[in-house]
Amino acid sequence: MLQSQLFTKTRKEAPKDEITKNAQLLIRGGFVHKEMAGSYSYLPLGRRVLENIERIVRDEMDRIGGQEIRMATLQPSEPWKQTGAWEKVDVIFKINSRTDKEYTIGQSAEEIITPIVQEYVRSYKDLPVAVYQIGQKYRDELRAKSGIMRGREFTMKDMYSFHETQEDFDRFYALAKEAYLRVYKRMGLVAKVTEASGGSFTEKLSYEFMVLTSAGEDVILYCDSCSYCVNADISKQKEGEACTRCTGGNLARATASEVGNIFDLGIKYPKDFGYTYKNKDGEDAYPIMGCFGIGITRLMGVIAEALSDEHGLVWPETVAPYRVHLLSLTPDDLEASSAANLLYDALLDLGVDVLYDDRKGPSAGEKFKDSDLIGIPLCVVVSKKTLVEGKFEVKVRSSGETKILDRDELLSLF
């Protein structure tokens, strides 16, 4: 991508009403545009980041047998009334057509997926099954906040699984847990599996996946020795007390952001919809159901919060909008600009995603500032200074480490 053609521009200053780092940096870098409180548009750079996050999530869900679908976002009110959610869940957006028919726009999809699976999965031979989607969710939050981290519209991966037995659910839950932890790790984040309330879903505990960040809205207590972690909301223990799950560990306290969760739904939804399958003995039985969420847009915000520095964003390679930011410092110099053009083409030939700052106006300093702000992992500088020896400067955004390489050395990095 030629940066001279990129329609978004960076900004020196963030809008004054954005306090959180994720919103400030993402707006300044031209990744997102705010439409209203809790609702953002994703611009070229931001859209590419989201796509990369989605790719990782999709990859891991497919790996544990998830089947991707796409459910309707505009949904009938009836199934929501059937389960009681229409009255009980206050974040549901309710809309009326001009003929006064009631609809909702999806805030979750248990009410949609259960009847779909019911139609096809009728035998124990068809179980277990796990189905997921990645799509927009809409929740009538009383207060949107924290930039893109808590909006009224957001992107979520929601997976639903159906099982014959509790044991089989537990087996799949363990698989999903590992997949979730891989998802976060691949994005450069460290998540903790946290015991939490099941909300209005279930009496049982649920598990939340928490990334430690000061921008988070949850408080967790975690053991400094074992992997035990609990949401402070439901913990009977306090910071500094001894861990009850291991010997020698003490509980530490931290703010964190929830980037995923798992609920054991039991047989609530199959019961509500009269969904039974035939078991081995030919009897009708309710499948046990689980739901598994990952906040895609929130992950983008958490990465922006957790991995940025005073100069701007620092994207991990796996989610970065481009892999290389190629800066042509002296585009008016014929020799330098043709060297940059050749390098750009060579990188494209190798299949490397490159943002090429070929702009003629901005000074060298401005290009460096922009590059730091946008946060692409590798910055390659083409200028007369190093070109006299036939070399290029390569800078790693995260560490600041710099190397002077010739063309072959540079291309061999990819």
If phi over 0 gives left and psi between -120 and 50 gives alpha, with beta otherwise, what is residue 30? left
> What type of residue is 217?
E
Name residues contacting RNA, limited to 20-39 (CB under 7 A). Answer: 20, 28, 36-38
400/414 Cα distance (integer angstroms):
19
Q: Does 141 bind RNA (CB under 7 A)?
A: yes
User: Cis bond leading into 44, ω under 30°?
Assistant: no
Q: How far is the CB of 296 from RNA (least distance, A)?
A: 14
List the one residue from 5, 12, 281, 310 that touches RNA (CB under 7 A). 12
Task: Report how far residue 40's alpha carbon sits from residue 42's, in angstroms, rounded to the nearest whole number.
Answer: 6
Considering only the stretches 85-93, 118-126, 246-254, 406-414, report the one whose residues sit in contact with RNA under the rule CB under 7 A. 85-93
Q: How far apart are CA 6 and CA 332, in angstroms?
A: 20
Q: Based on the shown chain and the rule CB under 7 A, indicate whether residue 7 belongs to the binding site for RNA.
A: no
Question: How many whole angstroms separate alpha carbon 272 and alpha carbon 79?
Answer: 9
Give the residue with the Cβ less far from RNA, 5 or 247: 5
The answer to whether 156 touches 135, Cβ cutoff 8 Å, is yes
Using the rule CB under 7 A, give the single segment among 94-102, 120-128, 194-202, 295-303 that binds RNA. 194-202
Neighbours of 49 (CB within 10 A): 24
Task: Verify binding: residue 295, RNA, rule CB under 7 A.
Answer: no
User: What residues contact residue 363 under an 8 Å CB cut-off, 6+ apart?
Assistant: none
**Residue 68 in the binding site for RNA (CB under 7 A):** no
User: Per-residue x/- marks for RNA, 346-385, CB under 7 A?
Assistant: --------------xxxxxxx-xxxxxx-------x-x-x
- CB closer to RNA, 102 vs 366: 366
Taking the complex as a whole, the smallest distance from the CB of residue 313 to RNA amounts, in Å, to 11
**Is 407 a binder of RNA (CB under 7 A)?**
no
Q: Are 208 and 231 in contact (CB under 8 A)?
A: yes
* Residue 245 in tokens: 């799950």
List residues near RNA by CB under 7 A.
Answer: 9-20, 28, 36-38, 83-85, 88-91, 107-108, 110-111, 139, 141-147, 197, 199-201, 217, 311, 329-332, 360-366, 368-373, 381, 383, 385-386, 393, 395, 402
